[in-house]
Amino acid sequence: MRSKNPSLISTIELGKAIKRRREELKLSLRDVGDLTEVSASTLSRIENGTGRPDADNIARLTQWLDMPVDRLMTHTSDNVEPVIYYPHEKTPEIIKAHLRADKNLTPETAEALSELFRVAYQQFSKPGTKK
């Protein structure tokens, strides 16, 4: 019997990306809902990690985020594709994506290293300077 995989999409990562982008653009859940045709209540559940969006909503949201859907895929094999990022992403988010894609790291270790990098980057980066 085949084991059931709860989801091939990391809805936690999707929720974090939505919240980060929404706050960056100073938009409400309702604003994002109007832009993406995904209800504000669904967006809230995704951001809180309790929602499981359907394929159409995932497509709408990744399009709004300007993020390839494979960035949200959970890795079930050793075939890890290169990480793709876009210019609007901040350096800590790019590093986090690379750490998550590293097959030599457990998800917990990748998350810990990501947080360590984020804190160090925040401490040592100079506000107002271009990257």
Residues 48 and 67 in one domain: yes
What are the pLDDT digits (tens) for 89-110? 777 887 887 787 778 888 888 8
pLDDT digits (tens, 9 = 90+) for 42-74: 999 999 988 888 989 999 998 998 887 877 776
Q: Is the dihedral of CA 24, 88, 67, 118 positive or negative?
A: negative
10 neighbors 73 (Cβ within 8 angstroms): yes
How far is residue 113's CA from residue 106's CA, in Å, rounded to a whole number? 11
The answer to whether the predicted template modeling score (pTM) of the entire model surpasses 0.85 is no
How is residue 103 written in tokens? 């097959």
Question: Confidence class of residue 7 from pLDDT cuts 50, 70 and 90?
Answer: low
95 contact partners, CB below 8 Å, separation of at least 6: 114, 117, 118, 121
The per-residue b/e assignment along 89-102, b for 16 or more CB within 10 angstroms, e otherwise, is beebbebbbebbee
Give the pLDDT band (50/70/90) at residue 84.
low
Examine the domain organization and report whether 19 and 70 are in the same domain: yes
Of 74, 99, 116, the residue that ends a domain is 74
Mean pLDDT (the chain, rounded): 80
83 shares its domain with 120 = yes
Domain membership of residue 86 as a residue range: 77-131
